Structure 1
Amino acid sequence: MSVDPVEQWSGVLDRFEADIALAVSGGEPVPWNPPVEAEAGPLPEELADRARRILDAQLESMAMLGKVRNDALAHLDALSAVPDSQSSAGPLFLDVQG
C-alpha cells in the first residue's frame, strides 16, 4: 500500500511549521532529518503555495534569530568590558576631594 504524497508532504510541512514556531519561541530544537526523496517523491503542486509560505517564514525567523544572536553577543561584549572587582589589583574608589 503506497502512501499518499499529499499526506506525506503535508506531514513534512507540518514539521517545518512546528520547528519554526519552536525556534522563534526559544524552545530547544530537535534534530531533523530530511525526507528521503524516494519516499516523499516530488512536492505535489497543490502544496507549492504552502511550501513557499513556509520558506518565507523560515527566512524571516532566521533573520530574527540572527538579530537576537547579535544582540546577545553585543551584551556579552559589554559585560566582558566591565572589570571584575574581585580580581582588580587597583583601588576601587578614588578620593578626589581629599
Structure 2
Amino acid sequence: MWADPVQEWSGILDRLEANIALAVSGGEPEPWNPPAEAETGPLPEELADRARRILDAQLESMAMLGKVRNDALAHLDALNAVPDSQSSARPLFLDVQG
C-alpha cells in the first residue's frame, strides 16, 4: 500500500512542472519515465485538474520550443545560402561610393 498518494503524486507533478520551466528557459531537463502504478497508485482525483493544467503547459511548451527550433533551422539555412568567400571567383561586395 502507498504511504500517501496525494503527497507522492504532488512530488511527481512538481518535477514535471520544474522540467517544463527548465525546458522553456533553455535548460535541458533529465528524461522522464512515468512511475509504475504499483509504486504510486492511481492519480488521486483531487490532483486531476492540476495534472490537466500541466499537460496543457507541456503541449504549449512543446509548440513554443518547436517554433524556436524551426526559426533556428531557418536562420541556419539562410546562413548556409551565403556563398563562402573562398569558393567564389567574383567579389562579394561592390564599393558604390568609391
TM-score bracket, normalised by the shorter chain, equals 0.7 to 0.9
Corresponding position of 1:15: 15
Corresponding position of 1:72: 72
Instruction: Map Cα deviations across residues 44-67 of structure 1 (whole Å, 9 max, x no partner).
Output: 000011001101100110110010
Instruction: Map Cα deviations across residues 3-46 of structure 1 (whole Å, 9 max, x no partner).
Output: 21101100110011000000000002212221111111110000
Question: Aligned pairs, how many?
Answer: 95
Letter matched to residue 12 of structure 1: I
**Alpha-carbon shift at residue 77 of structure 1 (Å):** 0.6
**Alpha-carbon shift at residue 81 of structure 1 (Å):** 0.3
TM-score by length of 1: 0.88
TM-score by length of 2: 0.88
Say which SS state the counterpart of residue 69 (structure 2) adopts.
Answer: helix
Partner Cα separation in structure 2 for residue 21 and residue 42 of structure 1: 25
Name the Cα RMSD after superposition: 1.9
Runs of 4+ aligned structure 1 residues displaced above 2 Å come to none
Partner Cα separation in structure 1 for residue 52 and residue 69 of structure 2: 25
Identity over aligned residues, as a percent? Answer: 85
**Alpha-carbon shift at residue 94 of structure 1 (Å):** 6.5
